[in-house]
């Protein structure tokens, strides 16, 4: 009988847990872990964290200080359970402000340093807007590793590679969502999935041109999307789908294989080219804006919770 799918996947792809749930991380033993405002909110709402959250909120200078303190505390706990990277996100409110993103990213790294966690363990997550990518370019030069998230288009991926970012998180499931609303009767299974096709194109372009930026598929809606990307550099997977893979015995074939670079990388895009290409991609434009709004909606909920605890 074949091994379970998760065990086989780990032999060809670095598996990353897309969660702030410490028990799930202990169970599935991923290499890395990613968080975002929605996942931090979920973790913060756990009853056993409430007393500590109140302590953080009361000791913070303002709500932004409290938000970052919570994110770093949860990230620090996660870092004890994984051997690799922990991704911590800069506020989505700063998605269009390069200077503010830089300041917040440096502050997060300093906070981790006070916990004894060096920058080599942390990926600063930033939305893949033009401003976010420009911030990442500077951070990488300073030795701060970045994870560019909310990535839906080839133009975003190219710009990230040109900027020398450590890792990108192209979203698979949200691309599928967009197409399903427009073609509800279409067959998007397996390699027909437009999100899978997007990641495959990015992966092949990066490997074919010698880019070092890591491709980490994210935002999966079903295990079929994950299996169709077996062999991708990294895949960040929710606990529910990790559990499904761990409980399924079936043979797994590698779908993506890194090839030696064959051609020189194209000239980098400038800002006008990037913005035009993104504007031409209706799906990416809509999903990027929607993603930023959704992350901010959950951040505001966490801000409200921390504000209430500051007064309690």
By annotation, the residues acting in catalysis are: 125
Tokens of 296: 């901010």
Rounded CA-CA distance 39/57 in Å is 18
* HEC per residue, 88-143: EECCHHHCCCHHHHHHHHHHHHHHHHHCCCCHHHEEEEEECCHHHHHHHHHHHHCC
Cα three-residue angle 172-178-181, rounded to 5 degrees:
135
- Taking a C-beta distance cutoff of 8 angstroms, is the pair 242, 28 a contact? yes
Rounded CA-CA distance 24/238 in Å is 9
H or E segment and range at residue 306: helix 282-311
Tokens of 16: 């990353």
Q: What is the DSSP string of 173-207?
A: HHHHHHHHHH-TTS---GGG-HHHHHHHHHHHHHH
Strand partners, 170: 151
């Amino acid at each position: 009988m074949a091994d379970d799918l998760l065990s086989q996947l780990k032999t060809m792809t670095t598996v990353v847990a897309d969660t702030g749930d410490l028990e799930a991380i202990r169970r599935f033993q991923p290499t890395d872990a990613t968080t975002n405002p929605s996942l931090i909110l979920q973790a913060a709402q756990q009853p056993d964290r409430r007393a500590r959250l109140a302590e953080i909120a009361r000791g913070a200078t303002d709500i932004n200080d409290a938000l970052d303190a919570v994110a770093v505390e949860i990230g620090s706990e996660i870092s004890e359970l994984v051997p690799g990277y922990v991704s911590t996100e800069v506020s989505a409110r700063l998605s269009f402000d390069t200077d503010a993103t830089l300041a917040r990213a440096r502050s997060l790294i300093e906070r981790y340093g006070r916990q004894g966690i060096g920058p080599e363990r942390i990926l600063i997550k930033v939305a893949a807007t033009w401003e976010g990518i420009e911030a990442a370019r500077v951070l990488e030069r300073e030795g701060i590793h970045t994870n560019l998230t909310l990535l839906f288009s080839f133009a975003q991926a190219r710009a990230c590679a040109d900027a020398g970012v450590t890792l990108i998180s192209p979203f698979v499931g949200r691309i599928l969502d967009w197409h399903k609303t427009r073609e509800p009767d279409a067959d998007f299974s397996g390699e027909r999935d437009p999100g899978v096709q997007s990641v495959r194109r990015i992966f092949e372009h990066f490997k074919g041109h010698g880019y070092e930026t890591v491709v980490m598929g994210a935002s999966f809606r079903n295990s079929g999307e994950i299996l169709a990307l077996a062999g991708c550099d990294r895949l960040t997977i929710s606990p529910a789908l990790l559990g499904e893979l761990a409980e399924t015995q079936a043979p797994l074939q590698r779908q993506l294989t890194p090839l030696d670079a064959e051609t020189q990388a194209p000239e980098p895009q400038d800002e006008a080219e990037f913005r035009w290409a993104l504007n031409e991609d209706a799906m990416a434009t809509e999903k990027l804006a929607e993603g930023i709004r959704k992350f901010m909606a959950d951040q505001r909920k966490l801000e409200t919770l921390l504000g209430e605890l500051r007064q309690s």
